[in-house]
Structure 1
């Protein structure tokens, strides 16, 4: 699977929790994180898991699932999705630095393009997180949706979330996970 977003969205935290959970479930897991140097840059994590995995790196057309924390990032990485793969996309715009400085334009009709190209689940994780009381938990909302979609129910996600999130934010993140899981 491929998790993509913009620096500052919590993509790395979600991938860390996911990777730990998969390891605890007994899978062989390989993970490769690629991050921009600062907030507003591109972030991607490639995660492969199974009985035996030799490399985290996937080429174009190899990802079973793309989880996009920002919708333009799904479009940027769509060529990595295998035929018949699925996209879980946050209906959220967080312009990257090139867009912020006017070097690029934010594309129009992103969700429509994604829905025409692949099986796409659109989640308004930002709205859900805001309704819970903390918009920064949208990454955990998406994690919950991913866990449900991949049927990874045998893992103690509550313990992993409570262990990995910032102290004092355990309960709201657990609630965010449960909301995402129910979508």
Structure 2
């Protein structure tokens, strides 16, 4: 396989308990099986339910560090709108944010100390950022499990990365426990076939 030396960077951002780890594991599997040097960072942040969580995935012919600096991310995959907004400084010019339209109130909103910001998607688009917004929660429920938002979003990302669907399918089989396999496969396919 021929590579250019251009390293690609993908950030997966969300809230603890949403499955960032599985999403980054799936993506790492796909990239390695395609012959890339891929580095996946540990989860950073409050990995218990409710805290902000970020994982970094970098791939190319040679990757020296898994960390992504501001202005470096080609893609930001966000499980929630506020998380998408929070990590905008990391997006490179011309990069794309793929986000679920879901709102998950952070602690300051839950306690009444702050209000959930209005029209986040509109504000992001006004910054001339490529924003792909999808109701991943509804699509996950359609697949049979509300927790499959992460895999729906990987399905959407697959439309941009152009790896064969069989490669993703194999990664899902290898990364997902058998009892959860069916709805995760369905969730991926629904994401991959969604209209953007």
Q: TM-score range by the shorter chain?
A: over 0.9
Q: What is the aligned partner in structure 2 of residue 18 from structure 1?
A: 27
Task: Please say which of residues 131-140 and 80-89 is displaced more in the overlay.
Answer: 131-140
Task: Please say which of residues 126-135 and 39-48 is displaced more in the overlay.
Answer: 126-135
What displacement does 1:37 show?
4.2
Give 1:59-74 correspondences, 5 Å limit: 59-74=69-84
Check conservation: 1:65, 1:86, Cα contact below 8 A. Answer: yes
Say if 2:131 is the partner of 1:125: no
Say if 2:153 is the partner of 1:142: yes
- Taking structure 1 as the reference length, the TM-score comes to 0.94
RMSD between aligned alpha carbons?
1.5
Q: Distance in 2 between matches of 1:101 and 1:20?
A: 39
Q: Distance in 2 between matches of 1:24 and 1:14?
A: 16
How many aligned residue pairs are there? 183
| CA pair 156-92 structure 1, distance change in 2 beyond 3 A | same
| CA pair 84-34 structure 1, distance change in 2 beyond 3 A | same
What displacement does 1:100 show?
2.0
What displacement does 1:104 show?
3.3
Q: Distance in 2 between matches of 1:154 and 1:53?
A: 25
Q: Which residue of the other structure, out of 159, 165, 170, is the alignment partner of 2:181?
A: 170
Say if 2:105 is the partner of 1:92: no
SS where residue 149 of structure 1 aligns? helix
Q: Distance in 1 between matches of 2:109 and 2:21?
A: 22
- Taking structure 2 as the reference length, the TM-score comes to 0.88
Check conservation: 2:143, 2:184, Cα contact below 8 A. Answer: no
Q: Which residue of the other structure, out of 28, 32, 52, is the alignment partner of 2:37?
A: 28
SS where residue 133 of structure 2 aligns? strand
Deviations 1:115-150 (A, max 9, x none): 222011111110111122211111100001111112
Q: Distance in 1 between matches of 2:178 and 2:166?
A: 22
Q: Distance in 1 between matches of 2:112 and 2:21?
A: 27
Unmatched segments (≥5 aa) in structure 1: none
Q: Distance in 2 between matches of 1:165 and 1:102?
A: 38
SS where residue 179 of structure 2 aligns? coil
